[in-house]
Structure 1
Amino acid sequence: MSETAPGALELCQLLRVWRADAGVKLRREKALPQKEVAARIGVSERWYRGLESGDPVSLSSDILGRISQVLALGPDERMVLYSRAIDGAGLALADEDGEAEGQLALLQLVTAQTQFPAYLTDGSWNILGYNALMAQWFPWVLEPGANLMRWALADPQARDQLMDWQEHAEVYLAMLRFAVTTGSPGQEAIGALLQDLLRDPDCRRIWARESKFVAFRQGHRYRLRLPHVSSEQITVTSRVLLPAYHHRLRCVMLLPSATRAPQPAVPQPIVPQSAVPQANEPRPRAPHPRAPHSRAPRPFEPRPLDTRSLDPRPFESRVPPQGAVLVAGAR
């Protein structure tokens, strides 16, 4: 097994921590007993006790899979387990020749983004490149030797700009714990960076209290306070791209969270003051709406005959006498 980096935990220590965490996840009052864990994995209690004591044992991928399931390990913790058990297996992605050319292509990808901040780091979180929006939002990237971890954990400005800084600090330190435990490239630089950051009392307290691992900040949400950019809170989500054959590099984009655009106000009609009913004044009843075709016909009402308009002269018959000849048009 590879030499443990400063600040990293041995496999036996990790198993004890994860067994205690599994008790919390399963709503137990204490850590899962070794006997129960061994039975659920399918090994003897003596074998598992020896594993947690640091005895050299053979670990197959099947056993590692069962340990992950019984201890309820997340994807990042599983990567740590396999890395410590099989000397970094599953994390070794060999870089090909032409790394500088690949890095240049990634820098072009980052600087081409114009709708959201984007940046490129190496395995030790040193800033290698950024676009114009990243420099506008976070001017610290312009400084020589800019490092994401140093800014986020040691710069007082970060504690003001990153809302819920405590939660972010826990995640960043979990990323450092992942790096030193899995034997990520650049162990010397990462170890020195961690020792510098642990001089801060807040970081030291969080490091001693927490034991979780985080590989990448994929899909994490940030609430930012950047008065030089906007008077309102800015919310973004991080998206991490891992270039093929360049596993030491991380391309990160901060995508704005989708928000509903404000709807225009609907103008209301202006009602004259004279038309507004005053106090104690009866309100006029609105006519009941009825469609024209649904109007019921009025019943027939007989009316008396008005004889004043009648001709008083005797009625003259218009019937022709018998034997008369009718001529068209003649009266």
Structure 2
Amino acid sequence: MELSQLLRVWRVDAGVKLRRDKAIPQKEVAELMGVSERWYRSLESGDSVSLSSDILARLSEVLVLGPDERMVLYSRALDGAGVALADEEGEAEEQLALLQLVTAQTQFPAYLTDGCWNILGYNTLMADWFPWVLEPGANLMRWALADHAAREQMLDWRQHAEVYLAMLRFALATSSHKAALDKLLRHVLRDPECRRLWSRGPKVIAFRQGHRYRLDLPHVSPEQITVTSQVLLPAYQHGLRCVMLLPQKPVMPSHAVIPVQQDRSPLQ
């Protein structure tokens, strides 16, 4: 979505956050920002206006934007300068070190993805819990949103799907891999339920850090498994994500899987 569209939706969201029955009026936004109503209307109409960091900070405060929404605002307003996540390819040695970190984990599932959620590597438990990572070209987002097995294994799937779609929307607004992410989005939106959730609004989320959720994996445990996801971002390689799923209590895998280390090419 364009910045002008986002601003209109965020005014509505601000009204909800402030427990009002309607969107914050343009006039009120302008007054609280200390700018003229005409200036703000021009901004929301998509006209070319000057946007300083101070103006963006005031706009973020008035519209009650969260940190992820602020990053998208700055990325849209400043053409991504200084706020877009760095999706640069790291040196082979550094990526190998990350793969070794992931595959060395023996207490909980762990995996490594690139900026388009392609699976670059995983450990034994990840392959045991989620065998789909063994497939050629495995992609976390594609599995979570478009594979019906995910809807059975991830309890409260629709809530998860809303978060994943918000993460995909954030990536589309900040990443340099536009073509790959557009292709991923088109694939996901073939699903009617994903299309419905996508159309509900421009919610953006950078990472699902510290999120607790429940899994139903009969091949791993006869009981539901509650895990907390921890996301680690390597310095200078923010396009990569090391994710670890920490079980609330120990879970014994039903069978052993040989550790696998994969080098996936970016989604094209």
With the length of structure 2 as denominator, give the TM-score of the two structures: 0.90
Matched, 1:34 2:30: no
Matched, 1:250 2:250: no
Q: Relative to 1, partners in 2 of residues 1:95 and 1:72: Cα closer, same or farther, differing over 3 Å? A: closer
In structure 2, give the amino acid aligned to 1:58.
S
Counterpart residue number, 2:254: none
Coordinate RMSD, CA, aligned: 1.5
Q: CA deviation at 1:100?
A: 1.2
1:79-102 deviation line (CA, Å, top 9, x unaligned):
000100111123356678862111
Matched, 1:105 2:97: yes
1:115 to 107, 128, 133: 107
1:52 to 44, 51, 54: 44
Distance 1:76 1:219 in 2: 15
Distance 1:96 1:189 in 2: 14
Uncovered stretches (5+) of structure 2, i.e. residues with no partner: 251-268
In structure 2, give the amino acid aligned to 1:29.
D
The structure number with the bigger radius of gyration is 1
Counterpart residue number, 2:124: 132
3-state SS, counterpart of residue 55 of structure 1: coil
Q: Relative to 1, partners in 2 of residues 1:48 and 1:99: Cα closer, same or farther, differing over 3 Å? A: same
Counterpart residue number, 2:202: 211
Distance 1:43 1:234 in 2: 52
Aligned length, in residue pairs: 250
Q: Relative to 1, partners in 2 of residues 1:98 and 1:213: Cα closer, same or farther, differing over 3 Å? A: closer
Distance 2:195 2:163 in 1: 14
1:293-314 deviation line (CA, Å, top 9, x unaligned):
xxxxxxxxxxxxxxxxxxxxxx
Matches within 5 A, 1:186-225: 186-225=177-216
| Greater RCO, CA 8 A, separation 6+ | 2
3-state SS, counterpart of residue 199 of structure 2: helix
Moved over 2 A (4+): 89-98
Distance 1:168 1:210 in 2: 15
With the length of structure 1 as denominator, give the TM-score of the two structures: 0.73
Counterpart residue number, 2:13: 21
Uncovered stretches (5+) of structure 1, i.e. residues with no partner: 1-8, 260-331
Q: CA deviation at 1:211?
A: 2.0
Counterpart residue number, 2:55: 63
In structure 2, give the amino acid aligned to 1:41.
M
Q: CA deviation at 1:246?
A: 1.0
**Percent of aligned positions with the same letter in both sequences?**
78
